[in-house]
Amino acid sequence: MFKSNTPYLLFGNPIHQSKSPIIYQLFSKDTNIHLKYDTYCIKSDDSFSKIIIDFFNHQGKGANITVPFKEQAYFLPNILTERAKISHSINVLKKLHDNKILGDNTDGVGCLYDLKRLNFIHTENKILLIGAGGAARGIIPSLLSLPCSIDIVNRTFERAKKLENLFKNIGNIRAIDVSSLKKLNYHLVINATSFEKNENFDFFLSNIILYPARTFFYDICYCDNITPFLFWCKNNGAIYYSDGIGMLVSQAAYSFYLWNNIFPKVDKIIQILNKKKKYL
């Protein structure tokens, strides 16, 4: 029997640090739609699929899925949106009227929405994407759809090459080997890795960013302190940079829209969350 009676839950592990409950609370206030939302930590010896099926068989109306379950979640829904199919991962589920489960991925559209909001991205931009894991894969289709061109660098070149092969039929994307590159000029550099040491970014960036003061830098990670990637960028001459708090709010807004047909006011909520930042 499922151990929570909340109809909307975020599933992941770890989950204690999540800002999603507060974001949905602010959406509820903004839209006057009462949405009871909480987090649920799936332990390593629990069965992810069993828990999700149990949730939707009981009180569950909608779910967000976060690390490390987004890829597994792809295999659960009865129906997938096109963007979920392309990214092969799921971050939102909805129970439909006929009890079927719909799976969607709002990470990519959330990222693009935030980059546009910040005025960090325009059609035909050249983007350097650092990282070739699940987070990178989730945002690539939306960036290519603008359209933009993407170079991917990654510690493990083969993983970047895999993403090139996965997406080359939908846009201009190539894996690059950092060590063989001269300095390049990018409009936008996005960090989609999970590493957290400042010095690691020298390996990626010192050799390839030509004009740091004219380049936009975006970290899909976020925290109240400056992220290691943005710290590195700032110390190396960057002027335009942002963490991914706006992406978090935007992907949640698209989830809220999927559940309620109303898109909440994203800017206002980002402003509220930014007030907690220690470096702005």
For ligand ATR, how many residues bind (rule: CB under 6 A)?
13
- Residue 203 structure tokens: 């390996």
Contacts (Cβ under 8 Å, ≥6 apart) of 16: 39, 41
89 in Cβ contact with 122 (< 8 Å): no
Question: Which residue shows structure tokens 């990222």?
Answer: 111
DSSP designation for 170:
T
Among positions 61, 88, 155, 234, the unique one binding ligand ATR when judged by CB under 6 A:
155
Question: Which residue shows structure tokens 């759809």?
Answer: 145
CB of 67 to ligand ATR, least distance (A): 6
Among 61, 70, 95, 268, the active-site one is 70
CB of 261 to ligand ATR, least distance (A): 30
Q: Which stretch binds ligand ATR (CB under 6 A): 46-54, 74-82, 141-149, 151-159?
A: 151-159
Q: How far apart are CA 89 and CA 103, in angstroms?
A: 9
CB of 194 to ligand ATR, least distance (A): 4
* Per-residue contact flags (x/-) with ligand ATR for residues 235 to 264, judged by CB under 6 A: ------------------------------
Which positions from 178 through 197 interact with ligand ATR, judged by CB under 6 A?
193-195
**85 labelled catalytic:** no
Work out the burial of residue 130: count CB atoms within 10 Å of its CB; fewer than 13 is exposed, 13-18 middle, 19 or more buried.
buried
Among positions 36, 126, 159, 214, the unique one binding ligand ATR when judged by CB under 6 A:
159
Helix (H) / strand (E) containing 150: strand 149-153
Q: How far apart are CA 141 and CA 272, in angstroms?
A: 29
* Per-residue contact flags (x/-) with ligand ATR for residues 123 to 142, judged by CB under 6 A: --------xxxxx-------
Closer CB to ligand ATR, 156 or 165, in the complex = 156
Closer CB to ligand ATR, 132 or 150, in the complex = 132
CB of 236 to ligand ATR, least distance (A): 17
84 in Cβ contact with 141 (< 8 Å): no
Which positions from 63 through 122 interact with ligand ATR, judged by CB under 6 A?
none
Binding of ligand ATR by 207 (CB under 6 A): no
* Residues shown for the chain: 280
33 in Cβ contact with 60 (< 8 Å): no
Helix (H) / strand (E) containing 24: helix 20-31
Residues labelled as active-site residues: 70
Query: Interface residues with ligand ATR (CB under 6 A)?
Result: 131-135, 154-156, 159, 193-195, 200
